[in-house]
Structure 1
Amino acid sequence: MFDNLVVELGPWSWWLLGLVLLAAELVLPGFFLVWIGLAGIIVGALSLLFWDDAFWVWQLQWLVFAAVAVIVALLGRRYFYNNNQVTDEPFLNQRGASLVGRTATLGEPIAEGRGRIRLNDTYWTVKGPDLPVGTRVIIVASNGRELTVEPV
Structure 2
Amino acid sequence: MWAFLQHLSFWDWLALGTVLLILEVFGAGGYLLWIGLAAAAVGVLTFVLPGLSWELQLLLFGMLSILTALYWWYRQRSAVRASDQPNLNLRGQELIGKVFVVHQAIVDGRGKVKVADGVWMARGPDTPQGAKVRVVGLEGVVILVEPVD
Specify if TM > 0.5. Answer: yes
Secondary structure of 2:32's aligned partner = helix
Partners of 1:140 and 1:52 in 2: how far apart?
68
Task: Tell me how large the CA RMSD over aligned residues is.
Answer: 4.0
Q: Is residue 2:82 matched to residue 1:84? A: yes
Task: Give TM-score, length-normalised by structure 2.
Answer: 0.62
Number of residue pairs matched by the alignment: 139
Aligned to 2:17: 18
For structure 2, the residue ranges without an aligned partner over 5 or more in a row are 47-51
1: CA distance between counterparts of 2:138 and 2:6? 61
Q: Distance in 2 between matches of 1:10 and 1:46?
A: 10
Indicate the residue corresponding to 1:148 in structure 2: 144
Using the size of structure 1 for normalisation, the TM-score is: 0.61
Q: Deviations over 1:26-67 (max 9, x none)?
A: x55x6814x32202333665796985339x59xxx6xx96x7
Identity rate, percent: 30
Pairing of 1:28-107 with structure 2 (within 5 A): 28=26, 32-33=29-30, 35-42=31-38, 52-53=54-55, 74-80=73-79, 82-86=80-84, 89-107=85-103
CA displacement 1:82-136 (0-9 Å, x = unmatched): 13243xx443222111222211111112233222111111111112223232221
Q: Which has the larger radius of gyration?
A: 2
Distance in 1 (CA, whole Å) between partners of 2:139 and 2:12 is 52
Q: Runs of 5+ in structure 1 lacking a partner?
A: none
